[in-house]
Amino acid sequence: MIEEIEKIMASARAGDPMTGLKWTRKTTDKVSQELKAVGITASARTVARLLTGLDYRLRVNHKKLSGGSASKRGERNEQFEYINAIRQSFLECGDPVISVDTKKKELIGLFKNPGTAWTKVATPVRDHDFRSDATAIAAPYGVLDLGSNQGHIFVGTSHDTPQFAASAISQWWTLDGSSRYPHANRLLILADNGGSNGPRNRAWKVELQNTLSNLHGLEVTVCHYPPGASKWNPIEHLLFSQVSRNWAGEPLVDIDTMLNFIRTTKTATGLQVRATLMDGHYPKGIKIPDRVMATLKITPHKVLPAWNYTIAPTASKM
């Protein structure tokens, strides 16, 4: 029954990237009905008890957001449903589906890391978190393979740019994806609505065309979560929260320590995580002119085309 509940909740859950606490848009009655449809009888109260054991919690709404139009709220719900449908379609065909995002930047050095750890002696750390005191500022870009429950975090020490994000995904395909999905010619990427992989970022689309689609001969489909919905992106609560738990209370004294904490992150559900250092330079502020955008082989979807699009390989690299 636990496995069936997890399947039902998979497409409708969000979570805190730091604590791993999860919540869902489904009611216990709805889950009970869906379990009944697959031959499992469980009351709404039983479902609530099982969800508590799976780290789901009841949450209250907080009045922090400005009001939006009904049409915008409708687009948000429509996008969630569209992502769920296309994600399921890819997985059923055995094609790769990855969730991507940049975890918060980390100061490398003797800085306090939130949380507690069992030690005989507490490690002394700096009393202020000044960036100038850090030996490096690490930007961890994560790729979570939803079909295999395998994660890979690419740690950069330059800038979190579209070039860095696309290069990380390209490396993931070279190191993991191509051998895990040897017959695949398409890839689905689930991403947030801002940052280095935002839908309005021209450089993100250009880099996907060159660094991923053209280089590897992949048809790349990207679906973005609606604005303000980053915590529904699976990587946040399935990968990043687990890494945060693993290094809780431990200062990231150097890059090797950080990479080791990432690589030793595991869960009872079988999650395994790799870590790769990307020490290249990724400059900020690159502008993409209209003439370059016009050469992209990009097809917006009929459903919310600003958030959903497919990039196909071109005959040659741009």
Between CA 236 and CA 15 the distance in angstroms is: 7
Say whether pLDDT at 315 is over 50.
yes
Q: Report the alpha-carbon distance of residue 299 to residue 311 in Å, rounded.
A: 6
311's CB contacts (< 8 A; 6+ apart) are 205, 208, 209, 212, 213, 219, 220, 221, 222, 296, 297, 298, 299
Q: How far apart are CA 232 and CA 22, in angstroms?
A: 10
Query: Per-residue pLDDT averaged across 272-301, rounded?
Result: 96
Give the number of other Cβ atoms within 10 Å of residue 35's Cβ: 20
Predicted pLDDT of residue 61: 55
77-81, 100-104, 126-130, 307-311, range with the lowest pLDDT? 126-130
Q: Does an H or E element contain 190, and which?
A: strand 186-191
CB-CB contact of 85 with 117 (8 Å): no
| H or E stretch covering 29 | helix 28-37
pLDDT above 80 for 306: yes
Q: Name the residue with higher pLDDT: 275 or 119.
A: 275
Distances (CA, A) of 63 to 22, 60, 66, 193: 20, 10, 8, 22
**CA 255 vs CA 127, 222, 279: distances in Å:** 21, 31, 11
What does the H/E/C string look like for 253-307? Answer: CCHHHHHHHHHCCECCCCCEEEEEEECCCCCCCCCCCHHHHCCCCEEECCCCCCC
Q: List the end-to-end C-alpha distance of the chain, in Å, as a whole number.
A: 51
CA distance to 11, 40, 89, per residue, from 85 (Å): 9, 24, 6
Helix (H, G, I), strand (E, B) or coil at 9: helix
Question: What's the average model confidence in pLDDT over 88-99?
Answer: 98
**Which residue's entry shows tokens 């005959």?**
315
Give the mean pLDDT of 82-89.
97
- Token pair, residue 63, equals 């009045």
Domains and CATH numbers, the chain: 2-64 (no CATH), 79-311 (3.30.420.10)
**165 and 201 Cβ atoms separated by less than 8 Å:** no
pLDDT, residue 119, reads 62
Q: CA 184 to CA 113: how far, in whole Å?
A: 40
**Which tens digits make up the pLDDT trace of 130-180?**
888 899 999 999 999 999 999 999 999 999 999 999 999 999 999 999 999
The model's pTM: 0.79
72 pLDDT band, cuts 50/70/90, is confident
Tokens of 240: 């990043």
Largest alpha-carbon pair distance within the chain? 62
